[in-house]
Amino acid sequence: MCGIVGILSTTKKDTAVYIYDALTILQHRGQDAAGIVTAHKGRFYMRKSNGLVKNTFRTKHMAFLLGDMGIGHVRYPTAGSSSGAEAQPFYVNSPYGIAFAHNGNLTNTKELAKELFEQDRRHINTNSDSEILLNIFASELDKQKKQHINEQDIFASVKKVHQRVRGAYATIGIIPGFGIFGFRDPNGIRPLILGKRTTKGGTKHMLASESVALTALGYEITQDIKPGEAVVIDREGNIMVQQCAQQPKYSPCIFEFVYFARPDSVIDDISVYKARLRMGERLAAKIHKEWDGEKIDVVIPIPDTSRVSALQLASELKIKYSEGLIKNRYIARTFIMPGQKLRKKSVRQKLSAIELEFKGKNVLLVDDSIVRGTTSEQIVKMARDAGAKKVFFASAAPAVRHPNVYGIDMASEKEFIAHNKTTEEICQAIGADRLIYQDLDDLIWCVQQGNKKITQFDCSCFNGEYVTGDINQKYLDNIEAIRADTVKEKNHTNESSELICNDVE
């Protein structure tokens, strides 16, 4: 999972500052690396490095990033690698010069890499599928054989991309002297949103992964880019949108609404906040129906993502709600730690319990989901150490039993705590007195109520049904070999400290 943003201004030359602000807002989508590319007088200016946005860009870097248009990226490694060479954006010199930022994951990467070498005569320099996607697009655009391109050339190239590429991709690109563009895969798995901001000085156009990146900077939401659509914004600020897929099908990733997106975002006309409220309502209804005997004294969320659902759950059940766990905001999201040892260490540093809210009480802890169970197990123990009489656990999402292949680096199947376990066995594994999961039908209902036109979601991590229809056991075995925690820990240990920077130092 990554965050992407692109801005084109019709007058101002301070685009990089706004991209920086947008990336900071999207930092929750990736904390491994950050990068910005701008274009000015036909030249690219780029700065990218491992690390957070605030650590990647200094005053000298921002002064260097000239131009009235640019793109930015925050990276979350989808295969456990955190190599600086794979920090985005990427760029190619031919044709015209193209810089590119991508959120998602391609599922036919090996075939495409072979095609690029044998048919397109293009060289790939990293293991990143984003570089492959860029080169597929560049190769198709090069086939236009034109000195000066227009939006129809972009649309024609995107059509070819859709025909060749499978998987999840929301992308934003920039061509110096021409403008910026973006497109979304035919299933719309990853989000892409368009907006504009008009002032006396002119108009700024922005593409971003989440609406909050636009609204927080004063932009008006224009539209969600639909599955298979491409948008082109030229230097004069003209916006052109065209459907480029033969059979687009809305199938957004439901885990965006469970965990990744900020609650103040609206994606595909669905309020993330309201979806999480409904998750709390449905979970409360299930508890009310199935819970018997033991009284719940207090509902405590595991911050931050579960807070909205937990508050609504407590309200529905008329049970006291308390912020009994305090989060150290300077610790990264443990979901995206590169290995189990680091993850365990981070959980201990990340949260602390307020003993007053636990001592002598039957506590219901609420989390957005349970993946590996590492965090859940430690927090249950933390609650007991704080004096909880009994510790119950509720998940706003169903049990995660299958890998996500569309851009979320969930564990290999065998590392899921729910792998080959019943709910009772999972409960015992995390040390809770009772465990309750959201039903998948209820989760789908919670999200779908925001936009009833969307009839299908990618729920593959819960039900093993992959919307692209090209995932087999061989592919999943390969993913497991890449994503195993032992591999991630090795990659982290061998990580080079060299930073990638294509600018002056």
> What are the backbone dihedrals phi and psi of residue 387, each rounded to the nearest 5 degrees, phi first?
105, 10
Q: Please tell me whether 305 is known to bind a ligand.
A: yes
- The Cα-based distances of 283 to 134, 437, 499 in angstroms read 42, 8, 45
Q: Largest Cα–Cα distance in the chain?
A: 76
Which amino acid makes up residue 226?
A: K
Q: Which two tokens stand for residue 427?
A: 């409960």
Sorted by sequence, the CB contacts under 8 Å of residue 233 that are 6+ apart come out as 8, 179, 180, 181, 205, 239, 240
- The Cα-based distances of 458 to 57, 246, 251, 418, 465 in angstroms read 35, 20, 6, 19, 8
Q: ∠ CA 459-337-270 to the nearest 5 degrees?
A: 35
Q: Which two tokens stand for residue 308?
A: 């909205």
Residue with tokens 């979806």: 275
The CA radius of gyration of the chain, in Å to the nearest whole number, is: 23
Within 57-128, residue ranges assigned H as helices are 59-64, 109-118
DSSP 312-331: HHHHHHT-EE---EEE-TTS
Sorted by sequence, the CB contacts under 8 Å of residue 430 that are 6+ apart come out as 370, 373, 376, 377, 380, 393, 417
Question: What does the alpha-carbon distance between residue 106 and residue 135 come to, in Å, rounded to a whole number?
Answer: 13
> With contact defined as beta carbons under 8 Å apart, do 286 and 438 qualify?
yes
Question: What does the alpha-carbon distance between residue 353 and residue 102 come to, in Å, rounded to a whole number?
Answer: 38
Cβ-based neighbour number of residue 71 at 10 Å: 31
Residue ranges with strand state E in 65-201: 69-75, 90-92, 98-106, 167-175, 179-184, 193-199
Half-sphere exposure of 247 (CA within 13 A, CB side): 2
Question: What does the alpha-carbon distance between residue 353 and residue 327 come to, in Å, rounded to a whole number?
Answer: 9
> What are the backbone dihedrals phi and psi of residue 172, each rounded to the nearest 5 degrees, phi first?
-135, 135
Which of the residues 2, 244, 459, 461 is marked catalytic?
A: 2
Residue with tokens 């564990």: 411
Q: Which two tokens stand for residue 328?
A: 């150290």
Question: What does the alpha-carbon distance between residue 169 and residue 190 come to, in Å, rounded to a whole number?
Answer: 6
- The rounded Cα 55 to chain-centroid distance in angstroms is 20
The answer to whether residue 501 is catalytic is no
Nearest to 406 by CA among 343, 446, 457: 457
| Catalytic residue positions, numbered | 2
Residues making up the annotated binding site for Mg(2+) are 305, 367-368
Residues making up the annotated binding site are 305, 367-368
